[in-house]
Amino acid sequence: MSTATTPSAPPAPSVPTPTSGRRGGGARRLLSSIGGQNLSLIGALALVVVLFTSLNANFLSWDNIQVIGEAATIAGLLAVVQTVVIICGGLDISVGSQTGLASVVSAMVFTAAGSSAPLGIGTALLMGALVGLVNGAVIIYGRVNPTIATLAGLAAYKGVAQLISDGRAQGYVLGDPVFVFLSRGRIAGLPVMIWILALVAVAVHILLTYTDIGRNIYALGGNDTAARLAGINLNKYLLSAYALTGVVAALAGVLLTARTGSGQPVSGSEGLELQAITAAALGGCALKGGKGTIGGTLLAVALLGALQNGLTVQGINTFWQNVAQGLLLVTAVVIQQRRNRDRAIGLPA
């Protein structure tokens, strides 16, 4: 006769202590929120800072940090709006020429209107919006590739700036308190130009991250067919993106006028389009569209600004600085291609 046996109770599951996993999980969440691309930029920026600080003890001084920030402001503004355009699936190579044209217009209107800074600045901003709308209209209604359309704009706007200024600097604005405030003023110990970049960047970040407009912009760049089927007015968003780019490029032109004291048709604006595109690409923008952040772009702007300042202080020829920018742009695109596992052109998959 068999006796009944009482089944043994299963072992009690181990209960994690209240603190177990929190530290690791919190660190992982923090790293995930920062993103691998941004971590790479932070690491590169740290290496640049360590390198140039070892060569020059004043590199990390507060005064030099402000110098880097002011010098990077104009390119930073263009990089922020270039990020928006790239997320839309477009590109704007004409931003440097737009900046030079706005610089000339702001100074010439200021002089013609009897030293009226509001009129000069307002006219430049209005012209920037118009130029941006022209770019967008050519791309949308002319069905021209954004690269070709804005490449034409690069030449055209530069030519217009040289024609109306006769190829020379125009006006003198440093006697005006508004332009002096823009170029030399400080708020809470920081230069006004840095505050302007910060305000524009925060506004665009909020637009892209927390609004339906931003979500539609990402959708447009990610898959324009799906976006159109979802009822998104693609033309309206593209026109708005290029108009915004024109306005901010004009604002950069006004700041260029304030910094140099006169309207500059070419000097100070040439090459800005390369800096803006490089910063956006380094910051994680997918050149096919649909991906990018303002935070990543600003980190890339800081990296480029620190690198340029360090090379200048060390007396490195500016030609080598251009080489460094080109190499950084190629490196950023190569990294993107590898991460996305895109097929190499002309080679088997």
What pLDDT, in 10s, does the model give residues 300-316?
999 999 999 998 888 88
pLDDT digits (tens, 9 = 90+) for 234-285: 999 999 999 999 999 999 999 999 999 999 998 878 889 999 999 999 898 9
85 pLDDT tier (thresholds 50, 70, 90): very high
For residue 69, give the nearest of 314, 255, 220, 281 by alpha carbon.
255
Mean pLDDT to the nearest integer, 111-119: 92
What's this model's pTM, rounded to 2 decimal places?
0.86
Distance CA 349, CA 342 (A): 8
Three-class SS of residue 311? Answer: helix
Q: Give the whole-angstrom CA distance, residue 98 versus residue 245.
A: 9
Q: How far is CA 321 from CA 271, 282, 309, 310, in A?
A: 12, 16, 10, 10
Alpha-carbon distances of 121 from 66, 100, 195, 331, rounded to whole Å: 25, 14, 18, 38
Does 348 score more than 80 pLDDT? no
- Helix 272-282, helix 294-313: angle, nearest 10: 120
Residue 47 has pLDDT above 70, yes or no: yes
Distances (CA, A) of 147 to 51, 92, 209, 216, 230: 36, 7, 26, 22, 27
